[in-house]
Amino acid sequence: MGTGTAVWPGDQSFHLAWTLRRAAGDTVNVAALTLSPHTGTHADGPFHYDDDGACPAELDLSAYLGPAHVVDATGRTTLDTDLIDGLDLITAPRVLFRTREHVQPGRFPTEFAPLTTELAEQLGLRGARLVGTDAPSVDAFDSKRLDVHRILGRARIAIVENLMLGDVVPGRYTLIALPLKLVDADSSPVRAVLVDDGP
C-alpha cells in the first residue's frame, strides 16, 4: 500500500505525510496517514452497506483466521455456484476467489468478476464464514443495491476484497487477515497471509 495504490473512483486516495523527522532534528521519524479503509486488501464491515451493521471493532475475528480454500476462477465474468462444488466448507469454511493472473495495485479495474446472488446464497446455506476476492468488490462495479453484500451480511459471512492472489496456487490454506479494531469506521485494511496447509 502506498501513494500509487488505486482506490474506488471518488474514494480517498492514500497519502503519507511526516509529523516528525530525524533529518529535521526530531528524536524519531513519525508518519501520518490519510486513507480510505478500502485501500488495498480490506475487510468490508457490515456498516459499509447497512446503517445498523457492525463496525470493525465489533467484528468476530475468528471469521478472519482459519482454514480456507483458494479457488481458481480466472477468466470468469461472474462467480457462480459451480465454483464451490466439492469444497468442504465444514472443515474449511472460508473461500477465496482468484479471478485474475495479475493484480495491478496502481490500476483500478472497472471490469471484474462479481459473485452471483445464487453463489452468495449457497455460501450461506453451506455454512461459509468468509468470502474473499481479488476484485475490488463482491458486487458488480455498477451495482447500487449491493445485493451480494447484503446476502452475505444476513448469513454473517465476512467479506475480504482486493486480495493479492496472482501467485497463489489454488488449494487449501490457513488464512490470517485480521481487521484493525476501528471503533467508528465502516471497514478496515488487513494484511492478509496464507499459510500452506501441505498436501
Query: Which residues are known catalytic residues?
Result: 48
Residue with cell 462467480: 79
